[in-house]
Amino acid sequence: MSRILALAVIGFLPAVSVEAEELLEYQVKAAFLLNFVKFVEWPPAAFETSESPMAICVLGDDPFGSTLDRIVAEETVDGRRVAVHRIKSPPPPKSCQALFVPKSEKDVVKTLRETGPGVLTVGEKEGFLHDGGMIVFEIENRRVRFSIHQIAAENGGLKLSSRLLSVARSIQK
């Protein structure tokens, strides 16, 4: 018999919260997000004005708490202030430069379809790249890693630095 059998059987109520671990996991993911926007080049048309902030948007349920805000506080990228927005639906054009899609998001395909070009889409759910996303976080050996869908990024008008590509766990072309 397999242990899956066991899993099937006893104790199937919702798991107790794993706040601590998630805290650390999302601290690291938040730090990655800040790094991503530093290592990606956007076309000028992706911003409202030359003064507009570099907006990292979190869709739906926010897993970061205040972590992401603290990470980006006082950070600038190419002279733009980095800002965090929480949004409930796919962003209108030019309002977000990076979009984080948490795993709580149900219909990833629809979300990505409704997100226009010029937005770096970052997810954490399996199959995110397959669904049309650009960067996905993965847990490997208990560490946060990420994989990249280079074509999707290029189609969105974004240029990923070679440094980002070199650290990625895998690159799909």
Whether 112 contacts 124, CB under 8 Å: no
Tell which residue, 105, 120, 111, 126, has the closest CA to residue 152.
Answer: 120
Q: Does 81 bind other proteins (CB under 8 A)?
A: no
Binding window for other proteins (CB under 8 A); candidates: 8-16, 40-48, 55-63, 92-100: 8-16
Q: Does 107 bind other proteins (CB under 8 A)?
A: no
- Give min distance, CB of 119 to other proteins, in A: 21
Q: Measured between alpha carbons, how far is 112 from 93 in angstroms, rounded to an integer?
A: 13
Q: Does 75 bind other proteins (CB under 8 A)?
A: yes
Among 47, 58, 67, 149, binds other proteins (CB under 8 A): 67
- Give min distance, CB of 83 to other proteins, in A: 16
Q: Does 143 bind other proteins (CB under 8 A)?
A: yes
Whether 101 contacts 125, CB under 8 Å: yes
Rg (CA), the chain: 17
CB closer to other proteins, 113 vs 163: 163
Contact string (CB under 8 A) for other proteins, positions 13-42, x = contact:
xxxxxxxxx-xxx-xx-xxx-xx---x---
Q: Footprint of other proteins on residues 116-135 (CB under 8 A)?
A: 126-127, 130
Question: Rule CB under 8 A: which residues touch other proteins?
Answer: 1-21, 23-25, 27-28, 30-32, 34-35, 39, 67, 70-71, 75, 126-127, 130, 139-145, 147, 163-164, 167, 169-170, 172
